[in-house]
Structure 1
């Protein structure tokens, strides 16, 4: 039984892998606000940086222990997992274009890294590990909306590696009775997201005075976007939810789909920009690898936890545009490393 305080996470020791990334850093903030003692793992680098963790408000840092390392290091993971109550595993290589060039690195980080986390949990007294999946494992929708029973399709080396990681999580739940919860977020957007993501790219280009037009890839593909605060709420819900079935995935998405062209137009509206939108061939995936449509059926997750997204696409775009505007005004635009989620 999970030990819970009045806010759910009070007095719990929690490890977050991939904590220096977009979603990971927001999750660390959410856990700290909920009263958890958080160990936040970021990828080691020589720049004395903890990624987006460095942007977290100082008032929250007292409950955060930031460490550097790599999920590919099995010994390190055993040491970090020991004495934790809950583990949120977000660390992954996620940039789809780079997966075509370096697929082995995706296998090593996404599959073997996940194996190391699961083995470490198996050797500990962790009450739950939350494994992070992705809607990319579904490939192009065969039926919409997409439920968890939809066929898995490896349409890129990245998605294939995440399918392998998901199957490892399922196997450990079945084979070793490991308490593995699997969360499958659909496309998340918001502050701190790197420009490899379409919304971040469009907003930055729209606000950058040195850019005359908005360059994007395929405008006709369809996606289901969820604001990062709602995705974090999904992680918090699955982390302590009492009705979660281990070893089976739960979709987390808005249930509303838009084309990339439509979301780009809404992003321009959020910034007040009138720049033209141009589709560039070099920004497109290989034809047989492109995922044409993603639309979530999150009813199973909502029934189990009561989770529902609260932020509309328009509101989320405005809030994200405000963040980008602030970054540009302060000259702090940077490209996030591809390692973390």
Structure 2
């Protein structure tokens, strides 16, 4: 297996994936978003045993020329680069089309031209919208309840179209709600942990009744690698979830328990999604990932979830890590 290109390598999941790949002995090129600070995102803070053991390509996924250049000499592409914040998609939807749809087109076009042997494209459970049946299988209808999810539906279809039209070896990985160290404060678990770690006991949240299927970041990264290594799953959509459903409110109380404190939840109106945009229920059926790739979550069930929350909270409680977050404001 030759060099692996990871797009979105500077982000939350991408940085963990790069670390896992390097530790498993793979040759990795990390595509990070170009910026004038020459920041590599979370890869600036990667583990000591990984530092300096991967290539960096700074570019913009929206630029087809840079994407093609980054892919030269790579056999496998793990495409994670995307805009993912749902609230931000409400007022800047055009940016989501450029990044998620056109960016994916750039990736699959370059992969086709350069003869990439396998491409794993990242989807999201948000494309299902509120569950019509549970657990959610890959045959569940797609519902674009936010501009973000609509752009990801389009990106998934773009990736699939290159498989159907040109035989591009594409697998569409569909992670459910990934959480863990380094996650953006716009997500609910870091929002809760960061507020508690900052000394707050009155925790501001949006809706607490929606349920989610939370997947620890190391399980998600392992899912990408399992999809990458397998010779099965081409042209398929595959869920990566824990097969464990829990509400946002119950999650907050579980975090408080793990962190050894008591909290009171208050509703912040600014954090509420528009009524028809809120995804009320997500719960993954992960049987297909088990069957095709032999993947199973190491942090499954309530006990696994508590273990993942404890590891996440421990990371946030490090003052150096917590200082990178703005726990006193609503991050979109």
TM-score (norm 1): 0.92
Deviation at 1:212, TM superposition (A): 4.1
What whole-Å deviation, never above 9, does each CA across 1:138-173 have from its counterpart, x for those lacking one? 000000010000000000000000000000011000
CA contact (8 A) 1:13 1:37 kept: yes
Helix, strand or coil: the match of 1:61?
A: coil
Residues 1:321 and 2:321 aligned together: no
Helix, strand or coil: the match of 1:285?
A: coil
CA contact (8 A) 1:15 1:40 kept: yes
Aligned length: 323
> RMSD of the TM alignment (CA)?
1.3
Deviation at 1:82, TM superposition (A): 1.5
Structure-2 residue corresponding to 1:285:
273
Residues 1:276 and 2:264 aligned together: yes
1:50 aligned to which of 40, 56, 80: 40
Residues 1:238 and 2:230 aligned together: no
Structure 2, unpaired ranges of 5+: 328-332
Deviation at 1:62, TM superposition (A): 3.3
CA contact (8 A) 1:22 1:192 kept: yes
CA contact (8 A) 2:315 2:321 kept: no
Q: How does 1:1-341 map to 2 (within 5 A)?
A: 3=1, 12-209=2-199, 211-244=200-233, 246-311=234-299, 312-326=304-318, 328=319, 332-334=323-325
CA contact (8 A) 2:30 2:56 kept: yes
What whole-Å deviation, never above 9, does each CA across 1:63-117 have from its counterpart, x for those lacking one? 2112211111101111111210110000001000010101111000000000000
Deviation at 1:44, TM superposition (A): 1.1
Deviation at 1:329, TM superposition (A): 5.6
CA contact (8 A) 2:120 2:228 kept: yes
CA contact (8 A) 1:270 1:318 kept: yes
Helix, strand or coil: the match of 1:166?
A: helix
TM-score (norm 2): 0.95
Structure-2 residue corresponding to 1:8:
none
Change (3 A) 1:54 1:335: farther
Aligned equivalents of 1:124, 1:279: Cα separation in 2? 51
Structure 1, unpaired ranges of 5+: 4-11, 337-341
In the TM superposition, structure 1's runs of 4+ consecutive aligned residues that sit over 4 Å from their partners are none
Helix, strand or coil: the match of 1:85?
A: strand
Helix, strand or coil: the match of 1:60?
A: coil
Instruction: Tell me whether 169-178 or 274-283 shows the greater mean CA deviation.
Output: 274-283
Helix, strand or coil: the match of 1:192?
A: coil
Deviation at 1:242, TM superposition (A): 1.9
Helix, strand or coil: the match of 1:42?
A: strand
